[in-house]
């Protein structure tokens, strides 16, 4: 469901942009697009509702409906992209009228055909089978006395009983074993030894108010005799339970610190937390996954959600440490993801096992694929993508690797079992097609290939079903067939050849929809002049190539947000035209290139800047002036070739949000610590790399009181 939602989401603002930009559009076409937007908005809302139901509980018709919506959304987006490319090219745009009408007709048929499967997930109520076990005649159960007494001894035996009377014992096993009956029998025998007692059963879809009222009624049947007929708010019920149990100790468990931090486990969650841990079977990945799910966003989930999770896990890993049970536990974390994160999570399947995934690269690819989008034009897409990345880390869906705190030096990896789950889900959704050599040839799918990842081994690639491919990533040089003849991939958005042994990319000028071009560590020597035709290009990574001079047409890439080059590459004049640029590294400034230094100051959207600077007194003032204009910078690396650094005078005012500042070459230095390095100017600075010849105690104190500093050298 979420993949279909992910296909519709980016399309809606694009259609809105199309309507606003094309005032001369034929009236009938405009009406068609407006009708399409209305239809897609309704479908997006319907998909959001359906997404609340677990996939294996959905009607088959709903799955077919969602798949068709996804495909039609892709088709519509391709039509819009083709239309917009021709408008950008200055030519006469093709009239999308007939294609729009066909899409509208198909979309109009879908709700009527499949809407019967879209039920409200909260309307179906079933009888909890455990309820019947509460009233089973105990005499019918052979050997229950011995097992019950063993359970009681586990609860109350030991020298620490008086000091630490609170204990939890989990009774686990598959349905029908008599777990509930055993617990009820033990409860009935020992409940008189406690000041208060309660035996509560929680259904798979519990009513929170009903559970709270049952607890209060069981704690004091006289005081709360009429609780079920009274109208109490949830927070009132919770407060009443807390007040009633005031003074009782809570258990603090270091497997629980991820959820409760240092506050300790609330009394009402002790039992259920123990039960959940038991079902994780001592497997660290399962425990981390479940704990992260419960502790998401530093907000503790409600008690009913804990029990819903407990009930959903089944018998977990206590009896079977097999792969399928582990997958089921991991699936809970996937289902708990918000809809906007699920495509981002599944996208990780593109990368091979044990691959180190660079954070910056991943976020730029998410943006290029349309997974990170906003209807508000002023939204910082990279910052939004960074939030997505952090949320996946917080949920323990990915494992962070701390290489450095610079944007392109942070990474993550994916646990093998999590990657296996991703690949399984991606296959079901036809989200990513992975060729790793295990089968030798393209999988026999009837669906169109949208995203292709070629990994590890020599593979014969069939491109007959790739006319609609959006993403191509190659991790190996041993690719046989026509895969490098990709000029026919007219809707390709992401092309990543990092580390591959390729040199000819003359066809790239035909890929008019390209958003991401990754050529890092390839053998490419020349960037074709036609690169300037790629008006939608957002990321261009040329690091580690043999390119010496970038063509002048690069400055026509007005949507380019991220440009990675090496310091030996000469940029053309006119880089000030790259008004959307947010990341630039590493730009060479030398040989009295005053124009280039001044142009740098016009790139006011830059967040990350890396420059290689040859000390030159004639450029110092211009460079400081340009850096002063870059008020959005949060990461600045300056590689000064040699000598004392003088271009940043004492009255320079750094950007307020600067988090990283590095003067990285040991052959350059400051004579004394600059006065602008102080807590008021650099309140957010976390990383500082600087060489100072004369270091005073006052300078050390200033660095020591920088409030956000984590690393310095």
Lowest mean pLDDT among 242-256, 497-511, 528-542: 242-256
Banded pLDDT at 132 (limits 50, 70, 90):
very low
If one counts every other C-beta atom within 10 angstroms of the C-beta of residue 253, the result is: 15
E strands, 422-528, are: 433-435, 451-454, 459-461, 471-474, 479-481, 494-496, 516-518
Q: Is the pLDDT of residue 201 over 50?
A: yes
- pLDDT, one tens digit per residue, over 578-596 is 999 999 988 988 767 888 8
Q: How many CA atoms lie within 13 A of 712 on its CB side?
A: 17
Reduce the DSSP state of residue 238 to 3 states and report it.
helix
Q: What's residue 135's pLDDT? A: 40
Rg of the chain taking only CA atoms, in angstroms: 31
The tokens for 428 are 């079901």
H/E stretch holding 550: none
CB within 8 Å of 69: residues ≥ 6 apart: 4, 7, 8, 43, 47, 107, 110
Token pair 């709700």 is found at: 111
pLDDT grade, residue 228 (50/70/90)? confident
Q: Computed from CA positions of residues 614, 670, 635, 354, in that sequence, does the dihedral angle turn out positive or negative?
A: positive
Say whether pLDDT at 533 is over 60.
yes
CA dist., res. 709 & res. 686, Å (int): 4
Separation CA 417–CA 324 (nearest Å): 10
Span 389-411, average pLDDT: 76
Q: Beta-carbon neighbour count of residue 64 at 10 Å?
A: 14
| 265-290 pLDDT, tens digit each | 788 888 888 888 777 766 667 777 77
- DSSP, collapsed to helix, strand or coil, labels residue 525 as coil
Could you give the CA distance from residue 512 to residue 370 in angstroms, rounded to a whole number?
16
* pLDDT tens string 293-307: 777 655 677 888 888
pLDDT category at 348 given cuts 50, 70, 90 is very high
How would DSSP label each residue in 132-154?
HHTTS-GGGSTTHHHHHHHHHHH
Q: Can you list the pairs that 564-573 forms with residues at least 24 positions away whose Cβ atoms lie under 8 Å?
A: 564/408, 564/520, 564/540, 566/542, 567/612, 567/639, 569/542, 571/596, 573/599
For helices 323-335 and 303-313, angle between their N-to-C axes, nearest 10 degrees: 150
Rounded-to-integer distance, Cα 126 and Cα 128, Å:
6
Higher-pLDDT residue of 451, 400:
451
Place of tokens 């390119």: 547
200 or 180, greater pLDDT: 200
- Chain mean position to CA 95: 37
Are residues 394 and 292 in contact, defined by beta-carbon separation less than 8 angstroms? yes
Q: Work out the pLDDT band at 548, boundaries 50, 70, 90.
A: very high
> Is the model more confident about 63 or about 419?
419
Confidence label for 58 from pLDDT (cuts 50, 70 and 90): low
Phi-psi domain of 546 (left: phi exceeds 0; alpha: psi -120 through 50; beta: other): alpha
How do strand 539-541 and strand 562-564 relate by DSSP bridges? Answer: parallel
pTM of the model: 0.71
Rounded-to-integer distance, Cα 664 and Cα 613, Å? 11
Alpha carbon distances (Å) from 85 to 90, 369, 436, 490, 634: 9, 17, 34, 11, 33
Instruction: Look at residue 261 and give its three-state secondary structure.
Output: coil
Q: Strands 410-413, 357-358: parallel, antiparallel or unpaired by DSSP?
A: antiparallel
CB-count burial class (<10 Å; 0-12, 13-18, 19+) for 11: buried
pLDDT of residue 331: 84
What are the strands, taking DSSP E only, across 565-607? 583-589
Measured distance CA(470)–CA(481) in Å, rounded:
19
Task: Give the best-scoring range by mean pLDDT among 51-55, 63-67, 94-98, 528-532.
Answer: 528-532
Mean pLDDT of 406-416: 75
Contact by Cβ (8 Å): 710, 687: yes
Question: Is the CB of residue 160 less than 8 Å from the CB of residue 125?
Answer: no
User: What confidence category does residue 250 fall into, taking pLDDT thresholds of 50, 70 and 90?
Assistant: very low
Does residue 691 or residue 281 have the better pLDDT?
691
pLDDT above 60 for 5: no
Banded pLDDT at 664 (limits 50, 70, 90): confident
What's the pLDDT at 479? 66
226 to 217, 222, 441: CA distances (angstroms): 9, 9, 69
* pLDDT for 120: 40
Q: Which two tokens stand for residue 118?
A: 């879209």
Indicate whether 558 pLDDT > 60: yes
pLDDT: is 277 or 622 the higher one? 622
- Taking residues 326-340, report their average pLDDT: 82
- Give yes or no for a cis peptide into 37 (omega within 30° of 0): no
* Residue 537 predicted with pLDDT over 80: yes
DSSP element (H, E) containing 483 = none
Highest mean pLDDT among 62-76, 520-534, 663-677: 520-534
For the chain, give the mean pLDDT.
Answer: 77
pLDDT confidence band for 631 (50 / 70 / 90): very high
pLDDT value for 478: 64
CA-based nearest residue to 617, from 594, 637, 601, 595? 594
pLDDT value at position 437?
66
Under 8 Å between Cβ of 213 and 234: no
Q: Taking 60 as the threshold, does the pLDDT of residue 488 lie above it?
A: yes
Dist. CA 43–CA 4, nearest whole Å: 10
Q: Check residue 125 and give its pLDDT.
A: 34
Residue with tokens 């040859």: 614
Given a cut of 80, is residue 335 above it in pLDDT? yes
């Amino acid at each position: 469901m979420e993949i279909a939602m992910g296909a519709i989401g980016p399309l809606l603002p694009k259609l809105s942009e199309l309507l606003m930009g094309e005032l001369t559009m034929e009236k009938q076409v405009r009406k068609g697009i407006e009708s399409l937007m209305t239809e897609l908005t309704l479908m997006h809302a319907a998909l959001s509702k359906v997404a609340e139901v677990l996939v294996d509980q959905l009607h088959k018709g709903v799955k077919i409906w969602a798949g068709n919506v996804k495909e039609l959304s892709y088709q519509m987006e391709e039509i819009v992209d083709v239309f917009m490319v021709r408008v950008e090219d200055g030519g006469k745009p093709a009239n999308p009228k007939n294609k729009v009408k066909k899409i509208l007709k198909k979309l109009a048929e879908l709700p009527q055909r499949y809407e019967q499967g879209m039920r409200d997930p909260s309307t179906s109520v079933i009888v909890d089978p455990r309820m019947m076990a509460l009233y089973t005649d105990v005499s019918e159960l052979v050997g229950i006395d011995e097992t019950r007494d063993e359970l009681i001894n586990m609860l109350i035996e030991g020298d620490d009983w008086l000091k630490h009377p609170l204990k939890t014992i989990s009774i686990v096993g598959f349905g029908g074993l008599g777990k509930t009956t055993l617990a009820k029998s033990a409860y009935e025998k020992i409940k008189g030894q406690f000041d208060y007692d309660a035996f509560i059963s929680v259904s798979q879809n519990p009513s929170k108010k009903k559970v709270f009222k049952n607890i209060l009624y069981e704690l004091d049947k006289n005081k709360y005799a009429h609780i079920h007929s009274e109208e109490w708010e949830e927070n009132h019920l919770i407060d009443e339970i807390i007040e009633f149990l005031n003074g009782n100790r809570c258990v603090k468990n270091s497997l629980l610190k991820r959820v409760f931090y240092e506050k300790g486990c609330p009394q009402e969650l002790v039992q259920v937390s123990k039960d959940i841990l038991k079902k994780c079977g001592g497997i660290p990945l399962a425990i981390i996954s479940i704990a992260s799910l419960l502790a998401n966003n530093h907000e503790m989930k409600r008690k009913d959600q804990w029990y819903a999770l407990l009930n959903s896990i089944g018998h977990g890993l206590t009896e079977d440490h097999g792969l399928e049970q582990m997958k089921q536990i991991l699936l809970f974390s996937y289902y708990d993801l918000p809809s906007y994160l699920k495509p981002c999570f599944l996208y990780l399947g593109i990368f091979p096992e044990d691959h180190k995934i660079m954070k910056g690269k991943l976020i730029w690819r998410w943006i290029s694929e349309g997974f990170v989008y906003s209807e508000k034009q002023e939204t910082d897409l990279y910052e939004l993508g960074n939030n997505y990345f952090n949320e996946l880390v917080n949920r323990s869906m990915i494992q962070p690797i701390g290489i450095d705190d610079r944007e392109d030096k942070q990474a993550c990896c994916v646990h093998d079992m999590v990657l296996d789950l991703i690949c399984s889900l991606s296959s079901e959704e036809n989200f990513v097609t992975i060729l790793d050599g295990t089968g030798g040839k393209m999988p026999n799918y009837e669906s169109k290939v949208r995203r292709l990842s070629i990994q590890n081994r020599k593979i014969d690639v069939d491109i007959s079903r790739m006319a609609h491919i959006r993403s191509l990533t190659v991790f190996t040089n041993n690719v046989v067939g026509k895969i490098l003849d990709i000029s026919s991939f007219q809707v390709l958005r992401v092309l990543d050849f990092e580390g591959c042994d390729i040199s000819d990319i003359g066809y790239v000028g035909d890929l008019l929809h390209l958003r991401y071009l990754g050529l890092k560590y390839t053998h490419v020597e020349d960037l074709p002049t036609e690169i300037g035709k790629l008006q939608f290009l957002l990321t261009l990574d040329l690091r580690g190539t043999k390119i010496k001079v970038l063509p002048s047409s690069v400055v026509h890439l007005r949507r380019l947000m991220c440009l990675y080059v090496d310091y030996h590459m000469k940029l053309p004049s006119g880089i000030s035209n790259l008004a959307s640029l947010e990341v630039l590294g590493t730009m060479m400034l030398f040989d009295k290139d005053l124009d280039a230094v001044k142009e740098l100051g016009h790139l006011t959207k830059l967040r990350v800047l890396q420059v290689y600077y040859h000390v030159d007194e004639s450029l110092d003032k211009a460079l400081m002036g340009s850096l002063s204009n870059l008020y959005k910078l949060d990461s600045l690396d300056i590689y000064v070739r040699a000598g004392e650094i003088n271009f940043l005078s004492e009255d320079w005012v750094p950007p307020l949000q600067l988090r990283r500042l590095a003067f990285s070459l040991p052959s350059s230095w400051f004579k004394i610590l600059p006065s602008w390095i102080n807590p008021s100017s650099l309140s957010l600075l976390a990383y500082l790399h600087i060489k100072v010849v004369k270091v005073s105690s006052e300078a050390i104190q200033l660095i020591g009181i920088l409030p956000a500093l984590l690393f310095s050298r």
